[in-house]
C-alpha cells in the first residue's frame, strides 16, 4: 500500500481511518475494536486530502448518497482487483452471494476465494463488500464486525433480506 498520510473520522459505525496519496484513497480501516495497523499508524496525519471522502461518507451515512465518486487506488492481486471492481458494481440496496460474486468475475467455482478477496478489501464501505452475503442469505465475516455489516445493509434498505417471489 502506498499511502502517504492518513486521518481519522467518527462515524455512526465507529471511528474510521482513511489513508491515501495526494490523488487517491488507498485504505479505509475500522478502528472500533482495534488499533490502526502499524503501517498506517506511522503515517503523518493530514485532513485536507480527505475532505471530499469525509463529505461523501457523511452523506452516505445520512442517507443522501448512494454512489461514491472518489479516486481509489487499492493494492492487491489481479484476482482481488477484479473482485473489488465487481463489488463496486453492486447497486446500493442490493445484496448478492459469494457465489454470484465469483460468477461476476468469471470464476464460478471460486466463491471461497471471492470471499477471501472481500476480506482483504482495503477500502471498506466505499468498495461495498458488506453487500455480499452467504448462499443462504446469512451474514458472514466483515472487518468492522457483523453488527456493522447488518447496520450498513439496514441503512441501504437491504436487510433483512426480502424473500424472493417465486
3-state secondary structure 13-52: CCCEEEEECCCCEEEEEECCCCCCCHHHHCCCECCHHHHH
- The predicted-structure confidence for 26-84, as pLDDT tens digits, reads as follows 999 999 878 888 989 899 999 999 999 999 999 999 999 999 999 999 999 999 999 99
Band (141; pLDDT cuts 50, 70, 90): confident
Distances (CA, A) of 98 to 6, 21, 41, 125: 31, 31, 32, 17
Distances (CA, A) of 82 to 17, 74, 79, 128: 24, 11, 5, 14
- The predicted-structure confidence for 95-132, as pLDDT tens digits, reads as follows 999 999 999 999 999 999 999 999 999 999 999 999 99
Report yes or no: 13 and 151 within 8 Å, Cβ to Cβ: yes
For the chain, list the domains and their CATH numbers: 5-61 (3.30.160), 78-155 (1.10.10.10)
Spatial CA neighbour of 110 closest among 77, 143, 137:
77
Q: Does the annotation count 118 as an active-site position?
A: no
Spatial CA neighbour of 164 closest among 137, 128, 139:
137
> Residue 6 has what pLDDT?
97
> pTM for the full model?
0.92
Query: Assign residue 137 a region: left if phi > 0, alpha if psi is -120 to 50, beta otherwise?
Result: left
Band (161; pLDDT cuts 50, 70, 90): low
User: Using CA of residue 57, residue 59, residue 65, residue 68, what is the dihedral sign?
Assistant: negative
Band (136; pLDDT cuts 50, 70, 90): confident
Q: Could you identify the residue written with the cell 489513508? A: 19
Please state, rounded to an integer, the average pLDDT across all residues of the chain.
93
- The predicted-structure confidence for 117-126, as pLDDT tens digits, reads as follows 999 999 999 9
Amino acid at each position: 500500500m502506498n499511502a502517504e498520510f492518513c486521518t481519522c473520522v467518527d462515524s455512526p459505525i465507529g471511528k474510521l481511518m482513511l489513508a491515501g496519496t495526494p490523488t487517491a484513497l488507498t485504505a479505509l480501516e475500522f478502528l472500533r475494536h482495534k488499533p490502526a495497523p502499524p503501517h498506517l499508524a506511522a503515517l503523518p496525519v493530514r485532513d485536507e486530502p480527505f475532505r471530499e471522502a469525509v463529505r461523501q461518507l457523511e452523506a452516505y451515512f445520512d442517507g443522501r448518497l448512494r454512489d461514491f465518486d472518489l479516486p481509489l487506488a487499492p493494492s492487491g492481486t489481479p484476482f482481488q482487483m477484479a473482485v473489488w471492481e465487481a463489488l463496486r458494481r453492486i447497486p446500493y440496496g442490493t445484496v448478492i452471494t459469494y457465489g454470484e460474486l465469483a460468477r461476476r468475475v468469471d470464476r464460478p467455482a471460486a466463491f471461497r476465494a471471492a470471499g477471501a478477496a472481500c476480506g482483504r478489501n482495503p477500502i471498506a464501505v466505499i468498495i461495498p463488500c458488506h453487500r455480499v452475503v452467504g448462499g443462504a442469505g446469512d451474514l458472514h465475516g466483515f472487518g468492522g464486525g457483523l453488527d456493522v455489516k447488518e447496520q450498513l445493509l439496514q441503512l441501504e434498505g437491504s436487510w433483512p433480506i426480502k424473500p424472493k417471489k417465486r
